[in-house]
Amino acid sequence: MGFMIQVVPMVDYCWDSKDKISEVELHTIRSRLSAGILSKARRGELALTLPVGLVRDELGVVQKDPNREVINRN
């Protein structure tokens, strides 16, 4: 597939305050979010924003927008 995960080196840490999230925690959160997106894409459940003129029906199938104003717009 054409997916690439960027690995960020964990160099700087912010352990000085309880209010701040450490770089390790940010890296972990980012990794989990990326893994979730990739998992949805593999299952075919990743629904991205569609361009103008296309809509999803009740089943999630992408179709041309039935609105005449959208169809006739150039």
Separation between Cα atoms, residue 68 and residue 74, nearest integer Å: 12
Q: What is the pLDDT of residue 31?
A: 93
Separation between Cα atoms, residue 16 and residue 20, nearest integer Å: 8
Give first-to-last CA distance, the chain, whole Å: 34
pLDDT, tens only, 27-51: 899 999 999 999 998 998 888 888 8
Domains of the chain: which residue ranges?
A: 23-72
Q: What is the pLDDT of residue 1?
A: 46
Q: What is the pLDDT of residue 2?
A: 53
Mean pLDDT across the stretch 14-26?
69
